Structure formats: C-alpha cells, structure tokens
C-alpha cells in the first residue's frame, strides 16, 4: 500500500525527536522516524507489543514563543475571515493557523533540545 500523503506523523516513534522524513508502514499504521536505525527500533518495539513508554508534557516557554511567532498568521486570518473570533473562521484557515503554531512550537522545542536552555530563551 502506498504511503498516504495525508498521514504525516512528525515525531520519531522511538525517541520522540522530530521526524526526518523516514516512515514505517507497520500493519497499515504509519510511524515517523528520525533515522533508519530508529525505524528498525520502532519495528522491534511493535513486534514485541511494547508501548512507547514515554509521556509528553507541554513547555510554557515554547507555547509563549509559538504565540508570538504565529501572531501575524492570526491577524491575517482574522482579516481574511472578517473576525478575530477563531471559531468564526473557515475550518481550513483554523487548521492552517494551528499548523503554523505547532510548527513554531516544535521548532522551539527542537532548538532547546539541541542546544539546551538557561530558561531565558
């Protein structure tokens, strides 16, 4: 079965780093990977029936960063939809906004995961 273009997981199913364009089709479920080696680890984990075993939390600093970075998208979508009430926007515009917000959130998280943080980023 070809990989469906509408399915695009973004985090590695082994280490939760951002995916790097590697994907695994496992019994019609799709997993992202950061490397070929981690795709193999994902397959081993699934073959053994193990859960990922890692819980995620959100980072308030990353949320604040994403809010600031996506402000222009919020304003342009508000003007486009003649409303600052997001629930009055067209669904496709809401989805586009949250895609941008999430991309900024993950960009921030990726940066501090790579470089560390002193809490002032």
Task: Name the site residues for Zn ion (rule: CB under 5 A).
Answer: 12, 14-15, 17, 34, 38
Q: Which is nearer to Zn ion, 86 or 112 (CB)?
A: 112
Tokens encoding 5: 């273009």
Q: What minimum distance in Å lies between the beta carbon of 21 and Zn ion?
A: 12
Q: Which is nearer to Zn ion, 34 or 62 (CB)?
A: 34
Distance, CA of 4 to chain centre? 18
Q: Residue 71 half-sphere exposure, CB side, CA atoms within 13 Å? A: 5
d(CA 89, CA 24): 35
**Hey, which residues does 24 pair with through a beta bridge?**
31
Q: Which is nearer to Zn ion, 54 or 91 (CB)?
A: 54
Q: What minimum distance in Å lies between the beta carbon of 23 and Zn ion?
A: 12
């Amino acid at each position: 079965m070809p990989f469906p273009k509408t399915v695009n997981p973004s985090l590695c199913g082994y280490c939760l780093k951002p995916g790097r364009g590697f994907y695994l089709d496992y019994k019609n479920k799709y997993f992202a990977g950061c490397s070929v080696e981690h795709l193999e680890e994902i397959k081993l984990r699934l073959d053994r029936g193990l859960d990922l075993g890692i819980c995620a939390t959100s980072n308030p600093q990353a949320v604040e960063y994403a809010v600031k970075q996506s402000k222009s998208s919020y304003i342009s979508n508000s003007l486009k939809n003649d409303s600052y009430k997001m629930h009055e926007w067209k669904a496709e515009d809401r989805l586009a906004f949250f895609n941008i917000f999430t991309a900024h959130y993950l960009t921030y998280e990726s940066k501090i995961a790579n470089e560390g943080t002193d809490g002032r980023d």
